[in-house]
Structure 1
Amino acid sequence: MTIENRRVVITGAARDFGRTLAIAFARLGAEVYLSARSLAGAERTRDEIRALGHDRVHAFACDISSPESVRVFADAVREHTDHVDLLINNGAAWLEGEDLLSADDEAILATTGSGATGTVLATKYFLPLLLASAQPDIVTMVSVCGVPNFAGSSAHDAFYAAKGAQSAFTGILSKRLRERGVRVISLFPPDFDNIDPLSPEWETAPRGPENTLTAQSLVDCITFAVNQPRDCFISAFHFEPAP
């Protein structure tokens, strides 16, 4: 079992780890359907991938906090394919601030809407395409902030709320979708180094026990999980922060 020729949907792929995921999966031979809030951002990542010689990549605009936008995104993907093998729920707004009063209502709504509501909506609208696959997987980038009683981040309370909701949603979904053959995998990383996958450092970055977790290791965890035989349901990856 390999990633080659799998059809992979990735949200929030214009920059940061979403961009990393899109490039990494394209390099592994997957057909990638990537989205970003702005079409220009999605197309920028698409064009970077095409410049590497990978033509099976498609870019879409999608505001994952908007039901209509997510529905349109899923419908557009359906015009290209009759199934999706892997949905990666990556898109989520970051909000910093250890004081609840430090963020305005719009920032709080954007944070909870993208992280919590967005994950539910993307999973809902792509589930029919996943159920049409012989090897359906859903991967959600949660965060250590979704671990109960964790308090070691400078993230705003609204970000903690969004990640807690993601954790609860993927937890129950893992149990309810198992009988339908869909594996639901959640990652709970601390802060990590998102090295540019197009830079030389991608291959040479130190990854020893004293180093901060890298994006490379997160990609390796995802590919490891989805490449397991279908009787192997890995529900979550939890990571120790660097000392």
Structure 2
Amino acid sequence: MTFHVLVTGAGRDTGRLLALAFAAQGAHVIATARTPAAAEETVALIRANGGSATAAVLDLASPESIAALELDRLDVLVNSGARYLEGDASPADITDTIAGAATGTVLLTERLLPLLRASKRADVVNLISAAGEPGRHRSSAHPAFYAAKHAQAGYAEILSARLRPEGIRVISLFPPDFVQAGPRETGAELTAQSVVDCVLFAVHQPRDCFIRSLHFEQVVDTRTTAKENH
């Protein structure tokens, strides 16, 4: 039976790669994005490769947009949509960043829990960030992004503990800042495709395997390391 996967932030970059990857493995993908054009472009790419997908407009920073989302079935929720923020930020930028990654993740997941509870293979996947790990300071992201990702990580941790008795897995990934494309070799920066492959690995484990989180080593900056050791 075809499994149904909703991917947030599927209109570009890593979210789009996730949507394409799940569709290539036979899933029906609900590709969501803030604009209809971005979501439809991802769906067109999936269908061009023989996959199955539908598009949906979803703004994670808007409770009204989340409430308006209509689905009748879901097996896997991939919370990958989040606004990256760095440099100088306006109050509106900060509000949007925290609302999307933190509040949006909570509201969307809570809204879709009834559908996930009806599935026999339910997973919630959270693409968080190393910025959500205690003591990690190497990302150049704005502090508001750190705050949003710590909130997302805290929610995922307690949700994992509470949903495990129901057989619902909550899987969180904590990658460092990564690039969309590059050489996938020792010493190179982590690529989006490698992150996607880790998501697929975790989701396709047998149901007795509850992977709560995946953490990644960063590329070592010897200059930074030297400063940290003195």
TM-score by length of 1: 0.87
Report whether the alignment pairs 1:182 with 2:168: yes
What amino acid is the match of 1:7?
A: H
Report SS of the residue matched to 2:54. Answer: strand
Report whether the alignment pairs 1:13 with 2:3: no
Question: For residues 89 and 44 of structure 1, what CA distance do their matches in structure 2 show?
Answer: 19
Report SS of the residue matched to 1:40. Answer: helix
Aligned to 2:29: 32
**Mapping 1:1-243, distance limit 5 Å:** 5-54=2-51, 56-73=52-69, 75=70, 77-78=71-72, 83-97=73-87, 102-195=88-181, 206-243=183-220
Report SS of the residue matched to 1:231. Answer: coil
Question: For residues 44 and 240 of structure 1, what CA distance do their matches in structure 2 show?
Answer: 33
Report SS of the residue matched to 1:33. Answer: strand
What amino acid is the match of 1:36?
A: A
Question: For residues 212 and 113 of structure 1, what CA distance do their matches in structure 2 show?
Answer: 29
Question: For residues 154 and 39 of structure 1, what CA distance do their matches in structure 2 show?
Answer: 31
Report SS of the residue matched to 1:45. Answer: helix
Question: For residues 189 and 154 of structure 1, what CA distance do their matches in structure 2 show?
Answer: 14
Aligned to 1:200: none
TM-score by length of 2: 0.92
Question: For residues 119 and 50 of structure 2, what CA distance do their matches in structure 1 show?
Answer: 26
Post-superposition shift, 1:193?
Answer: 2.4
State, as a whole percentage, how many aligned pairs show the same letter: 51
Where structure 2 has 5 or more consecutive residues not aligned to the other structure, the ranges are 221-230
Q: Is the 8 A contact 2:121 2:207 kept in 1?
A: yes
Question: For residues 192 and 156 of structure 1, what CA distance do their matches in structure 2 show?
Answer: 16
Question: For residues 223 and 113 of structure 1, what CA distance do their matches in structure 2 show?
Answer: 27
Q: Is the 8 A contact 2:14 2:196 kept in 1?
A: no
Aligned residues between the structures: 220
Q: Is the 8 A contact 2:129 2:176 kept in 1?
A: yes
Question: For residues 220 and 20 of structure 1, what CA distance do their matches in structure 2 show?
Answer: 10
Moved more, 173-182 or 62-71: 62-71
Q: Deviations over 1:45-90 (max 9, x none)?
A: 1111111222x200010111222211211x2x22xxxx31100001
